[in-house]
Structure 1
């Protein structure tokens, strides 16, 4: 399977209709950028923005994605993996979860 790079954020401009609110924001989820390939008769693959495959570290994510999308052709998802603590993102909680079964533990997949 050929891994693809994630879509990265770029600076933009505000829409023209911001006279009453001349600002904009996007929620910072404080997680790990992750891509996933699911379906198409293949095993799911999860990888980081630095193109490191981390599927073995998140078997429950791979299983859930297969259950949700596995029988519907092939799909590639690009998003943020977040651990929630009482409904709020917790990077500390995610850090404790990272690299449970892999030698690479950080979001970027760098060796510790």
Structure 2
């Protein structure tokens, strides 16, 4: 696996998929981040491949508990009074290093992980080629031993549950639902994922 990787992207659709085999995750408004545990430490990459570790040391330090060879895909999010604060994320990402440290002390970040692409106990780099369902199981297992601020996003194979999240969690900062085919490998740089935005009426939701 070469770094920086090209992260998977979603395409916007008006409804959630109704066919069998789709899985659904909440979509949080944060800073897309690939988190890589190396032999020497942790490296955080932005969606464009820039190294942004120094701005997110409150995530990099706890990620040291991951075994070397682990690669996660997710969002750096900041909770403020029970709601995702995208403005705080933007401020952190655009700040100087000194300012980033001050912001982290006031509003620490959470890493909302939605995929694991490599892990020494789950096939190493070959994990990314396995179906989403296997990667999701591995992700939950891996992060269960770590705990906050590294956490898996809410996910379900039940469309009714996804629709309920869509309709009820917007006040907490959930901006939509992402749908992923359960049998799909990780689509580096591709758009095989679907995304429904919360600005669309829930009655229209059927594919992400």
TM-score by length of 1: 0.67
Greater helix content: 2
Superposition pairs of residues 60-79 of structure 1, within 5 angstroms? 60-67=58-65, 69=66, 72-79=67-74
Residue by residue over 1:60-92, the C-alpha shift from the partner in whole angstroms, topping out at 9 and shown as x without a partner, is 21101113x1xx241111111111112211111
Greater strand content: 2
Q: Does 1:33 align with 2:36?
A: no
In structure 1, C-alpha distance between the alignment counterparts of 2:8 and 2:48, rounded to whole Å: 12
**Deviation at 1:16?**
3.2
**Deviation at 1:43?**
1.7
Q: Secondary structure at the match of 2:35?
A: strand
In structure 1, C-alpha distance between the alignment counterparts of 2:47 and 2:56, rounded to whole Å: 16
Query: What does residue 44 of structure 1 align with?
Result: 42
Q: Pick from 16, 19, 23: which aligns with 2:19?
A: 16
> Please, which runs of 5 or more residues in structure 2 have no aligned partner?
99-208
TM-score by length of 2: 0.38
Q: Give the 4+ runs in structure 1 shifted more than 2 A.
A: 10-13, 25-28, 95-100
**Deviation at 1:36?**
0.8
Query: What does residue 51 of structure 2 align with?
Result: 53
Q: Pick from 85, 100, 105: which aligns with 2:80?
A: 85
In structure 2, C-alpha distance between the alignment counterparts of 1:73 and 1:92, rounded to whole Å: 32
**Deviation at 1:59?**
1.4
> Please, which runs of 5 or more residues in structure 1 have no aligned partner?
18-24, 103-112
What RMSD in Å do the two structures reach over aligned CA positions? 2.5
Q: Relative contact order: is structure 1 or structure 2 higher (C-alpha 8 Å, sep ≥ 6)?
A: 2
